[in-house]
Amino acid sequence: MANPGERNKTEAVTTALRGGERRGRLVERLREGLGASAAELRQLFDPASDPALLRVAEAKPSFGNHES
């Protein structure tokens, strides 16, 4: 079992199915969008912020290629 919180295979499968369903709903919402124009979306973000700088504080994942 992938998650130590699950006591048996049924719980593991149920958790995986719920996660898949949750991701599916999220994708639908993201495709619908916010109903804002491109200019309005640009105004939502601070132009002085640097996303790359914020990523430095994140822990490296325990999987995959760590160079990105």
End-to-end CA distance of the chain: 29
pLDDT of residue 4: 67
Local confidence band at 28 (pLDDT 50, 70, 90 cut-offs): confident
**Residue the block writes with tokens 């709903």:** 25
H-type alpha helices, 1-68: 9-32, 38-43, 51-55
Comparison of pLDDT for 32 and 4, the residue scoring more: 32
The Cα–Cα gap between 7 and 24 comes to 25
User: Is residue 66 scored above 60 in pLDDT?
Assistant: no
The Cα–Cα gap between 34 and 42 comes to 12
User: Is residue 23 scored above 80 in pLDDT?
Assistant: yes
pLDDT of residue 30: 81
User: Is residue 62 scored above 80 in pLDDT?
Assistant: no
pLDDT of residue 21: 92
The Cα–Cα gap between 4 and 12 comes to 9
